[in-house]
Amino acid sequence: MRPEQIKNAVSKLGLSEKLLLVEDIWDSIAANNSEIPMSMWQKRELDRRYEEYKQGKLKLHNWDDVHNDLREKYK
């Protein structure tokens, strides 16, 4: 199927169907994430952040607090 045909088919879906489709697409990407190339600058940045984490230099945030802060911010 060509990209334009896919777009046309997707545009005819309801919102819940589109959300399920997006979820399926992300799941398929995650299942094959070893195929996604990572640039050297990305790898270096991840390594740098991991080292900071191991050395206790990063300020970590509790997920519940982050979630609640975002809910309050976007009420």
| 7-38 residue pLDDT tens | 999 999 999 999 999 999 999 888 887 777 88
Q: What pTM was computed for the model?
A: 0.46
Supply the range of the domain harboring residue 10: 3-73
pLDDT mean over 41-46? 96
| Rg value, the chain, Cα | 19
The number of domains in the chain is: 1
Burial 61-71 (b: 16+ CB within 10 A, else e): eeeeeeeeeee
What is the predicted pLDDT for the residue at 54? 95
